[in-house]
Structures are given as C-alpha cells and as structure tokens.
Homo-oligomer: A and B are copies of this chain.
C-alpha cells in the first residue's frame, strides 16, 4: 500500500492561513491515501495554561492548515469527496481557552458591547488514547471531569470560487472552519470544486467539541489524519455535505443562526428529492419529522448547522454513486 500513501508533515512551509491565494504543496491522484499532520489552532504556541493566546500566538497567523493539496483532475463544477479514515492526536494533551471578544457568551466585534472582555484563561486537557478520554481540569477549583475522546477536524476546505481567499478561521460554502463534530473518522465530506485541483487543506483538530462550541475554542491539539480523496466529475455541490454509514448531512453556513438552519435544510430537501424522486413539499414534510440538526458552531464568522437525516428514511438512490461506501471500504485497510 505504501506507494499509494502521500505523507505530509506539518512543517512551517506546509502551513497556510487562507483558503485560496496559496500555491499547492503537493499533488494527489483521486483514490490516493493521504496521511496529513496538522498543527493546533494556536500554531503550537500554547504550551501551558500560562500561555495566553492573545500574547503567544503570531497574529494574524492563526489556525494553520496543512496544504493546499492539488487533486488531479478536479475541475470547477465537480465535487470533491474527502473520506476520513482516521484522526489521531499527536500529543498527549490539548488546550482550550477563552479568547478576548470571541465566543457565544461574550460581546464580540460584531455583537459589540461596552462591557470589558471576559477574562482570558487557558485550560489544559490530558488526552488518554488508551482509555479514549479527554480530561477537563477546572482552573479555579479542583474539579476534574473525563470526557470521551472524539477526534474531529475543525477546519477543512478547498479554494473558494471567483478568486476569493478566505482566512482559515472563516467557514463558508468552500468549507473552512466548519467546526462540526460530524467531520470525523468514518465519514465522507463533499465539497464543491471551484478551481483546478480543488486545493484541499485541513487543520484545527479537536480532541472533542460540544455542540455550538460555546466558548469558541475546542480541545485543540495536533493531529495525524488519514484521508482518501476522490473526484465526482460534473456533479456540483452547493454547500458542504457529509455522509456517514447511516446519515446524510447538508451543512448550512450563515448568520444569523436560523439562516444556517434554513440553508442546510434547503439543501437537504433537494438532496432527499434527488435520491427519492419525491417532490419538494413531500421531502420537506419528511425532513420536518425525521430530521436532525446538530449545531456545529455559534462563534465563528459564520455559524454552522448540519441538517441531517438517517439514510434508512431516504428510500431510493445512492448518494454520489456510492463513493462513500467505496472509500469507506478502502479506508478500512488503513485504520
């Protein structure tokens, strides 16, 4: 299998801070397996709870992604399928923090208030890969809570359309900082291809994250991610979609949060219609009773909601011609 495996470490020259506007650092063929190292959202600069991000991070170089990676044959109008085989923490710990003017329960530059910022504080989490736990340790009392290790990729995307370049902290229709726990091992992410080669990049691994990521920062750590990419020719995707073995998701990315819900549901109504042949109102009705809508983030430049439905409720066709099953099958060799 080795000649099929492209290994990318997270050295500085492989890190980028925008989607778009950056030349590719590597090239892969559709079907090829990638092993990608990523740095944490702090660029690795937070080493202890005394390292306040606002002091130690190298602004504006936040949230580095590894890439971009040129995918051969991907052209505008195609869909890029990114199957995630595994996500493995590269450290035995992660960090989270409150950050001035960032988070759902604080004034921000947009939701601007005259109150002083919340205190900036850092938390260190022990990551235990054997017990699959992440340990929260309170800073102002002696509480300790073990949470499940559930690794996910916070930021993954392609170059935007029409010559745009977006900071890696921004989620939008090209992907980016989606911050949804459903970008996890075993799932396939579908992204629109906007430029030749798609220019995939990823970073911002989370050892785990709550729905909405309310303080704005997850359990951030460096990761090794194994992926398989494929190209679905001449099939356009309007907004990021995710397929698991049992579910379909359309990720709505917008502000206010109801617009993230609306755009996710709207895309999913269309997807259900394509797969089943039902008309829009019947699909809308089915989704109203069977849909899930896990919130990704309520803190980033755009909010995200993954409008979802179980595949067993969507009788009929196979999404994207079965690429998820094929890649998942192939991925099992690399776990």
Contacts and interface: CB of A to CB of B under 8 A. Distances in A.
Interface stretch (A6-14, A85-93, A114-122, A240-248): A114-122
Contact of A278 (B107, B115, B138, B217): B138
B113 A315 contact: no
A295 interface: yes
Interface stretch (A26-34, A39-47, A160-168): A160-168
A286 interface: yes
A215 B291 CA distance: 11
Most chain B CB inside 10 Å of its own CB: which residue of A96, A115, A292, A294: A115
A281 interface: yes
A218 B105 contact: no
Contacts of A218: 288-289
Given A106-B113, A114-B118, A98 B210 contact: no
A25 to B, nearest CB: 16
A89 to B, nearest CB: 14
Nearest 10 pairs of A and B residues by beta carbon: A112-B266, A210-B291, A257-B257, A60-B162, A256-B256, A115-B115, A215-B288, A255-B255, A211-B293, A165-B165
Given A143-B316, A211-B291, 15 more contacts: A18-B163, A21-B163, A96-B285, A103-B284, A105-B113, A106-B114, A112-B259, A114-B284, A115-B116, A119-B281, A136-B290, A140-B281, A141-B276, A211-B293, A214-B287
Most chain B CB inside 10 Å of its own CB: which residue of A98, A164, A303: A164
Contacts of A167: 162-164
A254 interface: yes
A147 B290 contact: yes
B315 A279 contact: no
B256 A298 contact: no
Interface string A272-310: 000011111110111111111111001000010101000
Interface in A114-156: 114-119, 121, 123, 125, 134, 136, 138-141, 143, 145, 147
